[in-house]
């Protein structure tokens, strides 16, 4: 885990994070939620202040993040209940449990984004889906495709909206991968 990055998020805190990023993140969730059904057991990796969980009613979404300050904001200000402090490259979650795994604007922070992607694939149930967004400033589209190809995940949809700062990918985990 990159401790300096987490420290930066801790120092920023939930209020400033949301003032800066809430609006642009909401656009990404809108695209993702078109593909997701209500009540699917979901893990949101790098959940930050729990903004995505709030769009899903919160009840079926477990959030994982490394920043204690952002998790605290999620709990106190956003009343999100299901939160775990942990590292996206070593998820404290069991294998093959989640119907949906989401990850918005987090992979640019990891030492090895492929490890993060593998971890997300591991905790996804066979036949489940993932929504993963990739900061364009950090990842060219060809790199996104390469990272996905390095896993057993399959790309179902790609959001290339020029107004968004991320590529957003909808991925599936094959039923055969148990
Ligand atoms: C740009 S924010 C995105 C937050 C949230 N996904 C959203 O949509 O608002 C990046 C998040 O990744 C988290 N993060 C960075 N490195 C991490 C790691 N190794 N493990 C878990 N979370 C991490 C940060 O604490 C921060 O909450």
Give 103-134 pLDDT, tens digit per residue. 999 999 999 999 999 999 999 999 999 999 99
- DSSP per position, 70-128: HHHHHHHTS----EEE-BTTB-SS-TT-EEEEEE-S-GGGSS-HHHHHHHHHHHEEEEE
Best substitution site from 65, 68, 165, 166 to test ligand 1's pocket, by max atoms within 8 Å of Cβ?
65
Which domains are delineated in the chain? 3-172 (3.40.50.150)
> Which residue, by CA, sits nearest to atom 8 of ligand 1?
104
- Going by pLDDT thresholds of 50, 70 and 90, the confidence category of residue 178 is very low
Distance from the CA of 176 to the center of ligand 1, in angstroms? 30
pTM tops 0.95, yes or no: yes
């Amino acid at each position: 885990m990159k401790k300096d990055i987490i420290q930066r998020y801790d120092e920023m805190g939930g209020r400033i994070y949301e003032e800066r990023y809430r609006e642009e993140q909401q656009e990404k969730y809108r695209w993702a939620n078109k593909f997701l059904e209500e009540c699917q057991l979901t893990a949101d990796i790098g959940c930050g202040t729990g903004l995505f969980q709030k769009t899903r009613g919160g009840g079926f979404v477990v959030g994982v993040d490394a920043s204690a300050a952002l998790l605290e904001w999620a709990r106190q200000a956003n009343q999100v209940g299901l939160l775990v402090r942990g590292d996206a490259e070593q998820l404290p979650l069991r294998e093959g449990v989640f119907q949906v795994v989401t990850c918005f604007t987090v992979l640019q922070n990891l030492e090895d984004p492929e490890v993060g992607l593998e971890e997300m694939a591991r905790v996804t149930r066979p036949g489940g889906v993932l929504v993963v967004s990739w900061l364009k400033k950090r990842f060219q589209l060809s790199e996104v495709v390469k990272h996905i190809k390095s896993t057993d995940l399959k790309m179902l949809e790609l959001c290339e909206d020029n107004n968004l700062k991320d590529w957003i990918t909808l991925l599936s985990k094959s039923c055969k991968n148990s």
